[in-house]
């Protein structure tokens, strides 16, 4: 088997990177390299000519409303076709908060400005009256993760609603999630994952990072990844879980 390459496209790395979202790229890189997988990272900024033809993982971080206003036109003009093609080929997308909101049909800012989204996923976001800020714990259902929980930190005023038939990334155990009303958090649609979880997300959720790497490389390239010793990473996960839920996450599948 030839050594696979993880090709990460980092969308709007300069414009949208709050709460250390770049840490997700570092986690993916290190966890792949520790398995002998070569990693290539391409920052994809504003302007024409985005080449995502060989990307197998696309990451889009969070941003304030002003950052989202800066990029949404560019995304619709220069990125959407390339992202859609990548998704159709099975590439993984991880979009956090502001990036997640712009994957949908529309995002209405706190000031009431409607930004058309990329309409890659059937969801939309409207402003809420309060900001949801704090630690969040969710429980995934059918991703096969052990533990099933994901922990993170959310900070958003947008309220996101999923279209019919779309599965959330998980069920909120504590926190607001998509809208603070229906207990859903994020979206898991084919290989497209959207979430409000910053933290950054992946350092404290190494099991989810590995799922993304496995799906990005595909079963024929990699099979299951060799397990790593994740003592510190899972201590970080458990400490958020204990603080927020008052109990550690169950490590039984």
Q: Which residues bind ligand GLN (CB under 6 A)?
A: 18, 62-65, 68, 97-98, 155-158
Residue number with the smallest Cβ distance to ligand GLN: 62
Catalytic: which of 97, 124, 207, 237? 97
User: How many whole angstroms separate alpha carbon 81 and alpha carbon 144?
Assistant: 31
Q: Which residue in this structure is represented by tokens 């990072």?
A: 209
Q: Which of 198, 207 has the CB closer to ligand GLN?
A: 198
Closest separation in Å from C-beta 65 to ligand GLN: 4
Q: With the C-alpha atoms ordered 151, 89, 77, 14, is the resulting torsion angle positive or negative?
A: positive
- How many residues are recorded in the chain? 253
Which of 143, 66, 76 minimizes the C-alpha distance to 104?
A: 76
CB of 174 to ligand GLN, least distance (A): 18
Burial of 20 (0-12, 13-18, 19+ CB in 10 A): middle
Nearer to ligand GLN, 62 or 175 (CB): 62
Paired tokens of 47: 């302007």
Residue nearer to ligand GLN on the CB measure, 62 or 186: 62
The least CB distance from residue 227 to ligand GLN, in Å, is 32
Whether 198 is a known active-site residue: answer yes
User: Which DSSP category does 202 fall into?
Assistant: G
> Which of residues 98 and 203 has its CB atom nearest to ligand GLN in the complex?
98
Q: What tokens does 48 get?
A: 């024409």
In the residue annotation, 124 being an active-site residue is answered as: no
Q: What's the closest the beta carbon of residue 67 comes to ligand GLN, in angstroms? A: 8
Beta bridge partners of 93: 58, 192
Phi and psi dihedrals of 102, rounded to 5? -80, -10
The catalytic residue positions are: 97, 198
């Amino acid at each position: 088997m030839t050594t696979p390459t993880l090709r990460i496209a980092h969308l709007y790395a300069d414009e949208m990177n709050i709460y250390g979202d770049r840490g997700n790229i570092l986690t993916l890189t290190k966890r792949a390299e520790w398995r002998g997988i070569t990693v290539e990272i391409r920052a994809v900024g504003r302007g024409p000519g985005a080449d995502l033809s060989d990307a197998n993982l696309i990451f889009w971080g969070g941003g304030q409303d002003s950052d989202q206003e800066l990029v949404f036109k560019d995304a619709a003009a220069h990125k959407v076709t390339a992202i859609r093609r990548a998704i159709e080929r099975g590439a993984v997308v991880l979009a956090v908060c502001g990036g997640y909101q712009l994957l949908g049909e529309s995002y209405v800012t706190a000031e009431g400005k409607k930004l058309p989204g990329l309409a890659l996923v059937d969801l939309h976001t409207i402003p809420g009256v309060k900001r949801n800020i704090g630690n969040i714990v969710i429980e995934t259902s059918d991703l096969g993760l052990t533990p099933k929980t994901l922990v993170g930190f959310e900070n958003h005023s947008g309220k996101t609603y999923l279209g019919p038939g779309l599965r959330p990334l998980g069920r909120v155990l504590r926190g607001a999630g998509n809208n603070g009303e229906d207990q859903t958090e994020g979206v898991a649609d084919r290989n497209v994952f959207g979430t409000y979880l910053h933290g950054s997300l992946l350092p404290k959720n190494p099991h989810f990072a590995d799922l993304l790497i496995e799906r990005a490389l595909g079963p024929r390239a990699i099979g299951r990844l060799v397990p790593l010793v994740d003592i510190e990473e899972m201590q970080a996960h458990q400490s958020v879980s204990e603080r927020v839920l008052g109990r550690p996450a169950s490590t039984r599948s």
